[in-house]
Structure 1
């Protein structure tokens, strides 16, 4: 029944500690992913900003070239002809003509303001109501355009563009483009020569809407990624939590199995010792028993001496029964499965104990529902198991009581369930947990192996046994036997 077993797995506590470390790194990894997601989103948004700025710059350069052409064709040439080469923007008539040309050219474009500086850097024209004639040669972009004919672009924002976008700022953002105003040749040439610089265009574009759209896209992207990462993290946390509970349960199961294996090893060693001792004791007991029987027969004429011999014989029989229990525990017999009527075995045990039941004034109730159903079982082993349970029930009711024996089909109408219930003293909840432990007993006499042997017999039939009891409430033994193949 018992074998020496070795445990080959690594300690469950190590697995649990390793898993908790994985759980910690899962949380840390989520934080790192969120941080990198935000950084990546900022980089993407910055790239989008650069692309938007580049698009606005190209747009401004084309607009400046078109404005240069329109001003030269529709203002410089007509004014030079009309006013005999005397071009003075400060003249109201010339100013109105230039204003018409500029406004017609920028109409429909996202241009906030256009300023024109003359060759000295003085502000000669503006689409906005600002003071004219003021010198702006100190402005680097104006000076560089006049001196070198270069185009310059400057972004004007109230704060850092990334901070403004991240905070969803609605403050205005402008792109200022400085382009030289050049004279164009009236002749058609194959080469594209640049004419002399006669002034500077300052074109101001309002790019607040574009930047705001990029900011909205950035916030939406961050929110979406964080929500997705959060959902993924929640799923992972649920998986981790479920896996952790499984590991904890397995750890408890391993602890229980470890305890069972240790108990099995101790019981195996004890069983081997008991089997050897019982074998050595049984032979002398047989001699003592036969001798006591002969002695009792010879002393039948003297009742007092005959009684002493009878006591010796009874005690020898009791000791022999105890030795038999030890042997049954140490060397359990494999069941010999044969078609068996469970209810008939129960009746056989009850008939054998009927005199004791009557003497103890116990009322017996039978509730059989198997209707002659036959199961594959070992009738002798089950008889011994049922008899042991009946004896325990009778001993639990020394002042009389009620004994109920019932049968019914097992789960899904397969196998059988046997219920044996008494109205005796009952068993405490603490003792119920230990009731099947070998050598555990609450009686003054007995080896404590009876129910352990019963449990072994039931389990050898691949069945289950369960006891429900409380103090002063009686006890109920429930045995479930499955259908077995012979």
Structure 2
């Protein structure tokens, strides 16, 4: 059986990215970050412009209402009261007089619709004669204005793309304001006679803002692309100059850099895990307490929080175990007892997925000097990988025997095996073919086995299907 070893340093170095590649990636990343920042700033600028446009339009509407209120009272209410004794817009002469006053007041202004409500929420006057007489259509805006408070709301209409990009097909600002009787010394201080509704069409203004936003984004994007192309040419030229020197230098520094990297990663991971685990524990315990207090069984939010907290804690543990492996606390251990303990732990899952475990333990197996907890973790990881390779169930065999001064453990499954192109990559940190996981599991297993002066190799079962994991652990260890 061929033992899988780490690829030679020379080949590994030559496959690595060239030093100047980092500059290229940084250049590309900078372009993306700058472009995204431009989009964000443009969106904020557009939002600010729209807000200012809306505030301006609302103030514009309030001034128009104030002017309309004065004109209606002076040119319509008083003359009509004197001539007819009471106001009835159903009267043709009165309606025409009101229409003349309103249209002359708004003659030079961009107003789409004007509605005047009486105190019973009935439209008494409107540009659109079809809605005259309609009742209870004013809504909350009418009720607020009836209490003396002017208010506005924006109505937008368009398809989902138009709404998402911020240029709806139609944008109408609807303003409700009280229509009051005037007193000689104070305008708009008399009792409320009705409510006026003014509708302004802001569609053109919003479209102009959107077009300006497109111009800004397009201009900046073009400039950034030109800069990026120039930088890319410079980077490519620099790569060609330093390529050979970089390969030679990296070959000599590979082992030292790897050691420094793992050391730094270990220190960083230890600090980060400590800072994350404390609040993470509080979040998980709070979610568990919340789950107990929630009486609605359909509320799955606490379960989701607990599940994700556990997953994050497992990820932190993987990083810590790989980057900063601990020294084993060796005591006499029976590897078969460890395996039986693992199978007891996995038994519920094994039964649900119809996994069959075949054990072939040799006779009179000696104990070894090892850290039982660390071996438990390593063997559990191997068995979990075997189960994940057979999501619909299958047979897993575990063989333990003596080979010279070693205890051999062989784990076999009936899964699809490992693609030949991945056999040399499975020990690399963060390499994984799964949709989930950190890609550190086998690296942690390898660290644990090697910390016990053992070895591990993985191969495919040819001509049968499945993968085989072989672990060798020394029975006696010098100085132990």
Q: Which has the higher contact order (CA 8 A, sep 6+)?
A: 2
TM category, shorter:
0.3 to 0.5
- TM-score, normalised relative to structure 2: 0.46
- TM-score, normalised relative to structure 1: 0.45
